[in-house]
Each structure stands twice: as C-alpha cells, then as structure tokens.
Structure 1
C-alpha cells in the first residue's frame, strides 16, 4: 500500500501524459468488466472519450477513468481503475470528483455510471441511485471473446 493521501496525487486530462499500455494492462487483466479487452479497443475508446489520469509525486500514472459525452446533455463515466497499490487512499472518489467538476460547466442533464461494488466511492462524489431504474433499457452486445 502506498502512503500518500488522495491530495498528493495530480489528476489531468492531458492525453500526452496517459500511458495507454498501462491502462490496457490494468483493464484487460484486472478489471472484471474489461478482462481480455484488446489494446486496439483501449486505444479506440480512449480516442473517443475524455480521459482522466491520476499521477503520483514522481509522475507515474496510478489511476484512470474516462467519460463518453456529448458535452451538452449526457455523460457516461466508465473504466475507472485505481492501481492496487494505491487503493484505499480516497483516489477513486477524488477521480470521480475531478470528472464531475470537469463536466460541471457543461451543465449536463445526466452523468451516469454503472458499478457492481463501489457505490460508496461514487456516493462521496455526489452520485445517487438512478431514480427510475425501470426506465433504463439496453441492447446487449455480443459476449467478449
């Protein structure tokens, strides 16, 4: 476990700072929702998203999140990942807050996410359960290879 507090990390949307090889490694090997995701897919989705990287005091990337948005009405926060050595420091909440604050000037009608097990992390950033979950529908995609 790394000892800095969440305030010791720097969060940036600068695409030149992102280590997409590292993001691919994290997502494809340790994130249950993205296991097996190809490097090509990680690059493609990053190119179509606003990407947030969190960096430690030495500038190493230690967390990632991305937002798919039209910057007018809707945003979807996804692929939030904190390196295992940096968990428990409040960094996940700080990353969600950075996303929220970055998008605030756009006055989106809705910023959404889906989580299986981190409800309290996102609640600290202001996320609440969807008010009418029965209204949500999806077209399921094909199973990942």
Structure 2
C-alpha cells in the first residue's frame, strides 16, 4: 500500500454514502452507463457497500458486494475518483473487501471487469476455471433510453 492511503478510511456504514458521487461515476461508467437513479439506489439498498473517504470525510471511492454472507458474493461497481487513481486506494479497497469477516469461507466470489484483471489477481481472483459451467442473462443496452436521469 502507498503511504498516502493512510489518509483514507473505508466504511460499510450506508449512512455515510454520498449518493451523488456514486451515481455520477456509475451512471457514466462503461458497465452501467445510463443506469436510472432508482435502480442505482435499489442496488445500494440491497448490497453490502464500502465507501472510501478522505480525511475531510469526502467520498472518493465505492464498491458494493451482492452476497448471502454464507456461500456466494459478487463484487460490483468498484471505483476510485479519477483524481486519486494510481495512489493505492483501489488496492486498499479490494483488500478490505476480501478480508471482511462476513465474506470469509464463501464457495464462490465473482466479479466482472474489462480492464482491471491485474488489480483483482493480487487478491486471489482468477479467470473462471470452467466458464462452460456459468450462464448469464445479459440484455444489451439495458439502460438505453434512461440517460435523461444521468447528471
């Protein structure tokens, strides 16, 4: 970890989350472009959330985990604001998540990424052993037409 990461804290307290920061980033991301605010709020409400905060208590990062806290988890919506990327905060965030007591002993912990394989590999994530076992429903452009809500 970078010495600068000591200036930041990570919390699972949903009351501390800054929805505006989260929504702005996620609604403009490659994976959820145009997500409606109501959908993003529902996702947060039904997930274990991790907020990253500066010493001034400003939210600078986020991730959420969809889990049953027993056998399965899915890591989603991971980000650090662009101005602070490259300073070790994403490593601190992922390390905090994979070491969280409620996420130990899971049979499967999944994620999807287009560009951060190296980050996640450092914490034990690896390509699916037998991708033929997994199936998905993945509608193209699921949020298309909802960009009117994006700020």
TM-score with structure 1 setting the length: 0.90
Q: CA deviation at 1:48?
A: 0.5
1:141 deviates by: 2.7
Unaligned runs of 5+ in 1: none
Within a 5 Å distance, the mapping from 1:101-112 to structure 2 comes to 101-103=99-101, 106-112=104-110
Q: Where does the alignment leave 5 or more consecutive residues of structure 2 unmatched?
A: 145-151
2:23 corresponds to which residue? 24
TM-superposition CA deviations, 1:112-142 (whole Å, max 9, x none): 1011100111112221222112221112235
Asked if 1:12 is matched to 2:11, the reply is yes
Q: Number of paired residues?
A: 142
Aligned in 2, Cα 1:56/1:89: closer, same or farther, shift over 3 Å? same
**Greater RCO (Cα-Cα under 8 Å, separation 6 or more):** 2
Contact 2:69–2:102 (CA<8 Å) still a contact in 1?
no
After TM superposition, the runs of 4+ consecutive aligned structure 1 residues lying more than 6 A away are none
Structure 2 residue 88 is matched with structure 1 residue 90: yes
TM-score with structure 2 length normalisation?
0.87
Residue-by-residue CA offset, 1:63-97 (whole Å, 9 max, x unaligned) = 00000001110000000011001100111121111
Change beyond 3 A, Cα 1:48–1:11: same
Structure 1 stretch 18-27 or stretch 131-140: which is displaced more? 131-140
